[in-house]
Amino acid sequence: MTQPWPAPYHPDPITARQVIPGSKSMTNRAYILTALAEGPSRIVGALRSRDTDLMQSALESMGVRFTTERIGDEVDIHVQPGALGGGTVDCGLAGTVMRFVPPVAAFADSAVLFDGDEQARLRPMSTILDALRGLGVTVAGDTLPFTVQGTGSAPGGTVEIDASASSQFVSGLLLSAARFDHGVTVVHTGGSLPSQPHIEMTVEMLEAAGVDVAQERRAEHQSWTVQPGPIAGRTWVIEPDLSNATPFLAAAAVTGGTVTIPHWPTATTQAGDAIRGILENMGARVELVADGPSYSLEVTGPSDGLQGITIDMSDIGELTPTVAALATRARTESVLTGIAHLRGHETDRLAALTAEINALGGNCEELPDGIRITPSPLHGGLWHSYADHRMATAGAIIGLTTQGVEVENIETTSKTLPGFADMWTGMVNG
C-alpha cells in the first residue's frame, strides 16, 4: 500500500509561475471527433493523463490509429480514423470514456465490451445506454460491465433523457450524433442541468468540425439537434486545463502570495475560468496580464485572510473541492449549492468533503444540494482521497496552512494531472 504523502506546509506567501498541461475535457472531446472524422487530424498540446490515455486506448481497441510526436514539452497527437471494429474498452474511472465512447461503438462492425474500475461500476450509466437503445442501438446491460452491439450504422432520431445527474450524457450523444443516419435530437426533460459550460464546449467543438448543431431552451426543457453529415478532420489546439490550474491559484489565495498561470485564454468554455470571479469575491486580486503573444492569469491572495462565499456551483461543480478547501481558511461562513450531482462523481464528493474537513477539526455540514463550511481551526491528520483526483488536490491546499496533513494516494491525481505532487512541491520550494 502506498504511503501517505506529507502535504508541504508553507503558510508564508508563495510566489510561483506554474505551467499547466492541456485540458482533459478538450482533449477527450477532440479524441472522439477525430476518431469519427472523414480524414486525418492533429491534436496540439494534448493532455497525457490516465483519463486521456484510457480514451486513446478505447478508440485504438476499435481500430483508430494514433501517433504521438513530442516537440519540446509539447505533445502532438496525429489521428488516422478508419472503419471501426469490435473491441474491449477499459473505462477506468473516467466518466468521459464511459459516456462518450458507447455512442462511438454503435458504428463498430461488431460487439464492444465496456468495463472499468470497481468504483466505476457504481456510476450512473442507464441514461445514456437507454438513450442509445432509443436511437436504434442494441445494448446489453445497464451499468458497467455492458456491451454495445455495433453494426456499422444506427438510425438515430429524437431521444428524451434526464441528464440532471451529469452533463456528460448530453455531450456523449452529441459528439457522435452526426454519424447517425437521421442525426440526433437530444431533449433534456429533467431538473436542473449541471455543468452547462461542458455542453457549450461540446457544441463549440462540433461546430468547429463543420457539424450543424441547433439549440433550443424553453422553460420545460432544453434540446439540441445535430444534423447528419461529415465530421471534418482538422487541427485542434488544446487550452491549458483551467480546472487543474485552480489548486495552484488557491495556493496564492490561502498564503497571501502570488501565483501566475501562463497561456490563460481570454475567451473559453472551460468551467475552470470561473475561478477568477470566485477568488475575487473571496478577496484575492485577479488580473489577466499580457505575456508575449498570449496572456497570463495572476492571482494575489489577501494579506488579511479570505472572505467566505455563497455561490451556486451547478455549472462549475468540478471546482467544488478547491473552493471547499479555500472556504476552510476563510474568516466567514461559505455555502456551496447546486451540486447534488457530485454525489455521483468519482466518489460522493459532498460526503467525502464533509467527512475529511470535519476529521481535521473543521465544521462542514452536508446540505441537500451542497455543503456549508463554518470557519474552525484545523489540525493535522490523514486526508483520504477516495481515489478522486480533486479530493487529493483539496488536501494539498489545506496542508499549505495546516501543519501535519497527509494525503492518502496522492497518485490518484494522475487521472488528469500526472506529476502533480512534484509540481506542487516545486511551487512551494520556489
Q: Any idea which residues carry the catalytic annotation?
A: 318
CA atoms in the 13 A half-sphere facing the CB of 208: 16
Q: State yes or no: 318 annotated in a binding site.
A: yes
Q: State yes or no: 372 annotated in a binding site.
A: no
Q: State yes or no: 296 annotated in a binding site.
A: no
Q: State yes or no: 390 annotated in a binding site.
A: yes
Supply 64's cell numbers. Answer: 483508430
Q: State yes or no: 110 annotated in a binding site.
A: no
Q: State yes or no: 314 annotated in a binding site.
A: no
Spacing of C-alpha 161 from chain mean position = 21
Q: At what angle do helices 168-176 and 196-208 cross, to 10 degrees?
A: 10
Q: State yes or no: 24 annotated in a binding site.
A: yes
Q: State yes or no: 338 annotated in a binding site.
A: no
If DSSP codes are grouped into helix, strand and coil, which group holds residue 405?
A: strand
Q: State yes or no: 171 annotated in a binding site.
A: no
- Say how far apart CA 115 and CA 55 lie, in whole Å: 13
- Say how far apart CA 398 and CA 313 lie, in whole Å: 20
Q: State yes or no: 49 annotated in a binding site.
A: no
Q: State yes or no: 123 annotated in a binding site.
A: yes
Supply 137's cell numbers. Answer: 442501438
Q: State yes or no: 41 annotated in a binding site.
A: no
Q: What are phi and psi of 300, to 5 degrees?
A: -120, 125
Q: State yes or no: 399 annotated in a binding site.
A: no
- Say how far apart CA 352 and CA 355 lie, in whole Å: 5
Please give the helix or strand (H or E) that residue 54 lies within, else none: helix 50-60
Q: State yes or no: 243 annotated in a binding site.
A: no
- Closest among 405, 420, 416 to 10, alpha carbons compared: 405
Spacing of C-alpha 419 from chain mean position = 17
If DSSP codes are grouped into helix, strand and coil, which group holds residue 289?
A: strand
Q: What are phi and psi of 59, to 5 degrees?
A: -75, -35
Which residues fall in the annotated binding site for phosphoenolpyruvate? Answer: 24, 95, 123, 168, 349, 390, 415
**Residue stretches of the annotated binding site for 3-phosphoshikimate:** 24-25, 29, 166-168, 195, 318, 345
Annotated binding site: 24-25, 29, 95, 123, 166-168, 195, 318, 345, 349, 390, 415
